[in-house]
Amino acid sequence: MPPAPRTSEPVNAPLRPRVPRRALHGVLLLDKPVGLSSNDALQKAKRLMRAEKAGHTGTLDLLASGLLPLCFGAATKFSQASLDADKRYTATLRLGQTRAGGDLEGEVLRERPVAVDLAAIQTACARFTGPIAQVPPMHSALKKDGKALYEYARAGIEVERTPRQVTIHAIDILAWTPEQHTLVLDVRCSKGTYIRTLAEDIGEALGCGAHLSALRRTASGGLALADAVTLERLAEMTEPERDACLRRPDSLLSDRPEVRLPAPEAARFLQGLRRRTALADADAVRVYGPEPAAFLGSAHITAGELIADRLLSPPEVQALLQS
């Protein structure tokens, strides 16, 4: 008879009780640490919140830290708004050293002398402000022929990538330390911007090369890192304290105009029916019932009609009114 397989726990060890989940609706602003994937951070927060349904609004690399908005329950319907929002980062560049993958984790490919001053750095940053075309890095999750680019990169294969249009709204210099060849930038940009590519491009414009040594997301749309909570702090809280950290689902749409409907019109809107309105055309609005907190969903206005895009269910509306 073969020996019994080894187990990490005694055979008669009691099973761990399952943590009961609950319907939870809202947005948690998480300060993700370095070294943890966005999905791992989401799962840890989901367990702490005992939430039935959750999702994040845009991946941060293992190297990156900072703002990661997490959506629970009804808020997941509006996560795309955060994905599409402008972003803000504090990016730390190491000049004079080019690395595989464009960041601190890659092997050093080339070392060059750094002979630049603040004026040259300002000129280089200005070159990449405004609408620009970026070639996605090979170490990214963008897919080609059904495979992520980083899978090709790990196999030592470089594939052709189509440049993507992004917009860099502003680049401000926060610190320049010539002795360590370290440059810290405040970058405000559109969705889809690759900061490691921006770091490499600025390094090449300066003639010395560069890689991204640290990255911290400080804002996403109207949401700010200053309002975020760490996983460690979340674990120390009581459940009521954790619940108090949740923002309402419509916080993801705070930059959109507000439309308020009387009770009969609100009920019809929740059924997905188009409503007549005297309001001007708008690509995106947030819609409420007569009660101040009665968020109903997102919509757009075309030719005098309010047309629903994403709707809450009546039970979700009631749950938010009672929270």
Active-site residues: which are they?
61
Question: Which residues are CB-contacts of 10 (< 8 A; sequence separation ≥ 6)?
Answer: none
Task: Give exposure, 209-239, as e/b (b: 16+ Cβ within 10 Å).
Answer: bbbbbbbbbbbbbebebeebbebeebeeeee
The helix/strand/coil state of 49 is: helix
Exposed, middle or buried by CB within 10 Å (0-12, 13-18, 19+), for 42?
Answer: buried
What is the DSSP secondary structure assignment for residue 22, as one 8-state letter? B
How far is it, in rounded angstroms, from Cα 296 to Cα 290? 10
Contact 301, 307 (CB under 8 A): yes
Long-range contacts formed by 295-298: CB under 8 A, 24+ apart: 295/248, 295/249, 295/250, 295/320, 296/261, 296/266, 296/269, 296/270, 297/77, 297/269, 297/270, 298/78, 298/81, 298/253, 298/256
The helix/strand/coil state of 195 is: helix
Distance of CA 90 to the CA centre of its chain: 14
